């Protein structure tokens, strides 16, 4: 039984969600979206318990550069490990910066964007 929710029609985006799911609490929702320009995003909706006395809903929008995503999709699956590592590093760094903001007494934003560019693939 998976304690996460996935709404990712594309198998590769679903896999990317699974690669990073352990960084988030149970009940986190992962959703694939396309914006008006056709750019693919992986939206991560989760409840952060460690940013204050009450739970805080946070959305992270991981936006993929179309050319980088196309290169990733053209790679054979055995070549995806580097992209997985880059995605994980970006998400971990973002979560770390949110924790630093909270530790410094700053307000933690409810929405955060991550741009996955050339280094993704």
Residue 27: pLDDT band by 50, 70, 90 thresholds?
A: very high
Structure tokens at 24: 């988030």
More confident residue, 1 or 73: 73
Q: How far apart are CA 104 and CA 67, in angstroms?
A: 37
Q: How far apart are CA 105 and CA 101, in angstroms?
A: 6
Answer yes or no: is pLDDT of 53 > 80: no
Strand order from edge to edge, sheet including 5-7? 5-7, 29-34, 40-48, 56-64, 111-116
The fraction of the chain above a pLDDT of 90, given in percent, is 84
Answer yes or no: is pLDDT of 43 > 90: yes
70-95: average pLDDT: 96
Answer yes or no: is pLDDT of 19 > 90: yes
Q: How far apart are CA 90 and CA 98, in angstroms?
A: 12
| Model confidence, pTM | 0.92
Q: How far apart are CA 107 and CA 76, in angstroms?
A: 42
pLDDT at site 39: 93
11: number of Cβ within 10 Å = 8
Handedness of CA 69, 57, 85, 89 (dihedral sign): positive
pLDDT at site 2: 65
Q: How far apart are CA 8 and CA 11, in angstroms?
A: 7
pLDDT at site 32: 98
């Amino acid at each position: 039984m998976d304690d996460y929710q996935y709404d990712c029609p594309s198998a590769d985006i679903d896999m990317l969600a699974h690669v990073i799911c352990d960084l988030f609490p149970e009940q986190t929702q992962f959703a694939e979206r396309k914006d008006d320009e056709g750019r693919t995003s992986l939206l991560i909706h989760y409840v952060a318990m460690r940013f204050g006395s009450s739970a805080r809903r946070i959305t992270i929008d991981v936006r993929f550069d179309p050319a980088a995503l196309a290169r990733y999709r053209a790679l054979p699956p055995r070549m995806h490990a580097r992209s997985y590592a880059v995605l994980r590093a970006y998400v971990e760094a973002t979560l770390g910066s949110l924790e630093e903001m909270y530790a410094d007494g700053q307000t933690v934003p409810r929405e955060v964007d991550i741009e996955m560019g050339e280094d993704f693939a």
